[in-house]
C-alpha cells in the first residue's frame, strides 16, 4: 500500500483499471467450473448461445456509440454529460425497431435465434442500457477516477456469480434462464440507473443535433470493424449450435471461455499502455523505439500463448470436467488466434493514427467471410475442432490484409512504410503457429508435456538476454 500511495495519479489509475479488468475477466474463469457442474451441456449451451447473440447484436443495435466517447469528451470538454446523452439517444430508434419485431414475430425470432422469448426481451433490455454503462466506464477512465470503476467491477463480478448460483438452485426446472437472468439482473439494474441518469444530466445544453451527428459519424466509422470482430468471435458458436446442437456449442464455448479470458486479461493489460505508446511514438517520430517494443511484446504474447496451450487439457478438466474434455482440442486454434489478432492490432493502430478508419475494417471483414465459408464446409464433417482452426485461418487472413491496409494508409499520408520489423514479426507468428500445433501431439502424455512446459520456462529465463537482443534489433 505505501508503494501505491507514492504513485502519481496516472500510474495509480492505470494500475487500478488493469486490476479491475483482471478481476472482471478472471471471474469468468470461476463461473465456468461452477455452472458447468450445476447445469447439463444443453443448458450450458443455451447460456453460451445467449452470450453469443448478445455479443453479436450489441454493436448492430447500438452502433457501438461509446466508441465515440474519448474523442467526444475532447471535443465537448465542458458538455460531456450532454454529449453522452445525445449519443445514447441514437440507439433508441434501432432498439425500438427490434422491440417491434419481437412483438410482431415472437415465435419466428425465437426459433431463428434458438432462444426462449423471455430471454430475447431480457437481452434487448441489456443491449439498450449497455451504452450508458460504457460511456460511464469511458469517462471514469478518461478522467482518472478509478475507485468507483474498480469497486463497481468487483461488486458486479461477485453479484453475477452469487446470484447466478442462487437462481439456478431456486429454479432447477429452468436452469439456463435462471443463470442468465439471476446473474444478469444486478448489471441490468445498474445499467438502467445510469441510462436514466445520463438522460437527466444531459437534458440541458445546446447543439444537441450537432452532438448527435458528431457521435454518429465517429461511431459509423468504427462500426464495420466492430461488427466484423463480433462476427469473428461469436459466429462459430452460433453455427455449431445450429449444425451440431447446443451441447456441442457448450463444449466449444468452454474452450472459448479460456480464450476470451486470456485474450481480455493479457491483451487488455498490454493495450492499456501500448496503444497510447504507439500514437506517442508516431507523433514524435520514434519509429525505431516502436519497432523494438513491437517485437518484444509480440514475442511475449507468443510465449504466453504456447504455455497456455501446453496446459490446456488440465485447464479444461478444471473448468468443465470430463464431459467437456473434447474442448481441449479447440483451445490451440483459438489461442493461436490471439497472436495474429495482436499483430493485426499493431497494423490497425497505425492505420487509425493516420485517420483511415475505412481501412481498419477491411481485414476483419475479410476474415469473417473466410470464417463463414470454412465453417459451413467443415463443421458438418469435422465437428467443433474444425471451427477453432477456421477461426485461426480467418485471423491469419485478416492479419495479412490489415498489414496491406496499413501500407496503403501510410502511402496516402506520405508516412514511412517500415514502422515494424516484418521479418521478426512473421518469424514469431509462424514459429508460434508450428510450435502451438505441435504441442497438441503431447496432449495424451502429461509427463512429457509438463517437462516441456518447465523446460520452456527455464530456456526463456536462461536465454532471456539473447532473446531480447534478437527481438529488439534495429
The model's pLDDT over 166-217, given as tens digits with 9 standing for 90+, comes to 999 999 999 999 999 999 999 999 999 999 998 888 887 777 788 888 888 8
Asked whether the predicted pLDDT for residue 395 surpasses 80, the reply is: yes
Q: 401: how many CB neighbours lie within 10 A of its CB?
A: 19
- Look-up of cell digits 514475442: 299
Asked whether the predicted pLDDT for residue 470 surpasses 50, the reply is: no
Q: How many residues does the chain have?
A: 474
Asked whether the predicted pLDDT for residue 393 surpasses 90, the reply is: yes
Of residues 456 and 110, more confidence is placed in 110
Are 98 and 224 in contact by the 8 Å Cβ rule? The answer is no
Asked whether the predicted pLDDT for residue 473 surpasses 50, the reply is: no
Q: What is the pTM of this model?
A: 0.82
Per-residue CA distances from 304 to 189, 336, 345 (Å):
37, 10, 18
Q: What's 423's DSSP letter?
A: H
The model's pLDDT over 450-464, given as tens digits with 9 standing for 90+, comes to 888 888 788 777 766
Q: What contacts 103, CB < 8 A, 6 or more positions away?
A: none
Asked whether the predicted pLDDT for residue 1 surpasses 50, the reply is: no
The predicted pLDDT at position 3 comes to: 52
Q: Rounded to whole angstroms, how far apart are CA atoms 194 and 139?
A: 13
Task: Please give the helix or strand (H or E) that residue 152 lies within, else none.
Answer: helix 146-170
Q: Rounded to whole angstroms, how far apart are CA atoms 276 and 455?
A: 35
- Look-up of cell digits 461488486: 155
Write out the three cell numbers for 28: 469468468
The model's pLDDT over 32-90, given as tens digits with 9 standing for 90+, comes to 888 888 899 889 999 999 999 999 999 999 988 887 787 788 788 888 888 888 888 99
Q: Rounded to whole angstroms, how far apart are CA atoms 2 and 277?
A: 28
Backbone angles phi, psi at 40, to 5 degrees: -75, 170
Asked whether the predicted pLDDT for residue 358 surpasses 80, the reply is: no
Amino acid at each position: 500500500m505505501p508503494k501505491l500511495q507514492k504513485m502519481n495519479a496516472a500510474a495509480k489509475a492505470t494500475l487500478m483499471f488493469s486490476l479491475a479488468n483482471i478481476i472482471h475477466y478472471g471471474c469468468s474463469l470461476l463461473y465456468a467450473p461452477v455452472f458447468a457442474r450445476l447445469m447439463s451441456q444443453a443448458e450450458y449451451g443455451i447460456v453460451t448461445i445467449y452470450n453469443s447473440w448478445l455479443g453479436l447484436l450489441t454493436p448492430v443495435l447500438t452502433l457501438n456509440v461509446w466508441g465515440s466517447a474519448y474523442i467526444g469528451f475532447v471535443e465537448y470538454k465542458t458538455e460531456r454529460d450532454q454529449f453522452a446523452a445525445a449519443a445514447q439517444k441514437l440507439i433508441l430508434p434501432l432498439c425500438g425497431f427490434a422491440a417491434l419485431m419481437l412483438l410482431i414475430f415472437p415465435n419466428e425470432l425465437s426459433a431463428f435465434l434458438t432462444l426462449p422469448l423471455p430471454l430475447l426481451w431480457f437481452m434487448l433490455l441489456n443491449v439498450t442500457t449497455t451504452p450508458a454503462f460504457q460511456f460511464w466506464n469511458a469517462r471514469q477512465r478518461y478522467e482518472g477516477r478509478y475507485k468507483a470503476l474498480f469497486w463497481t467491477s468487483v461488486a458486479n463480478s461477485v453479484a453475477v456469480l452469487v446470484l447466478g448460483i442462487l437462481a439456478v438452485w431456486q429454479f432447477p426446472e429452468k436452469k439456463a434462464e435462471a443463470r442468465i437472468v439471476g446473474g444478469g439482473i444486478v448489471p441490468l439494474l445498474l445499467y438502467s440507473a445510469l441510462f436514466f441518469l445520463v438522460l437527466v444530466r444531459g437534458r440541458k445544453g445546446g447543439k444537441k443535433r450537432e452532438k448527435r451527428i458528431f457521435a454518429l459519424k465517429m461511431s459509423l466509422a468504427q462500426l464495420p470493424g466492430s461488427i466484423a470482430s463480433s462476427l469473428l468471435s461469436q459466429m462459430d458458436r452460433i453455427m455449431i449450435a445450429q449444425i451440431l446442437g447446443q451441447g456441442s456449442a457448450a463444449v466449444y464455448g468452454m474452450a472459448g471461455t479460456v480464450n476470451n479470458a486470456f485474450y481480455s486479461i493479457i491483451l487488455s493489460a498490454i493495450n492499456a499502455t501500448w496503444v497510447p505508446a504507439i500514437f506517442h511514438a508516431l507523433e514524435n517520430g520514434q519509429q525505431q523505439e516502436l519497432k523494438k517494443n513491437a517485437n518484444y511484446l509480440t514475442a511475449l504474447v507468443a510465449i504466453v500463448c504456447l504455455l497456455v496451450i501446453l496446459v490446456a487439457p488440465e485447464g479444461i478438466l478444471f473448468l468443465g470436467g470430463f464431459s467437456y474434455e473434447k474442448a481441449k482440442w479447440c483451445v490451440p486454434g483459438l489461442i493461436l488466434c490471439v497472436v495474429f489478432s495482436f499483430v493485426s492490432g499493431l497494423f490497425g493502430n497505425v492505420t487509425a493514427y493516420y485517420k483511415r478508419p475505412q481501412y481498419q475494417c477491411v481485414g476483419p471483414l475479410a476474415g469473417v467471410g473466410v470464417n463463414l465459408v470454412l465453417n459451413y464446409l467443415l463443421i458438418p464433417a469435422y465437428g467443433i475442432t474444425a471451427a477453432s482452426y477456421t477461426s485461426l485461418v480467418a485471423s491469419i487472413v485478416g492479419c495479412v490484409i490489415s498489414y496491406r491496409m496499413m501500407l496503403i494508409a501510410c502511402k496516402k499520408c506520405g508516412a514511412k512504410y517500415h514502422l515494424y520489423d516484418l521479418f521478426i514479426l512473421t518469424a514469431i507468428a509462424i514459429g508460434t503457429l508450428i510450435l502451438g500445433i505441435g504441442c497438441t501431439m503431447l496432449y495424451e502424455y502429461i509427463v512429457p508435456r509438463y517437462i516441456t512446459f518447465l523446460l520452456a520456462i527455464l530456456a526463456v529465463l536462461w536465454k532471456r538476454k539473447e532473446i531480447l537482443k534478437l527481438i529488439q534489433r534495429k
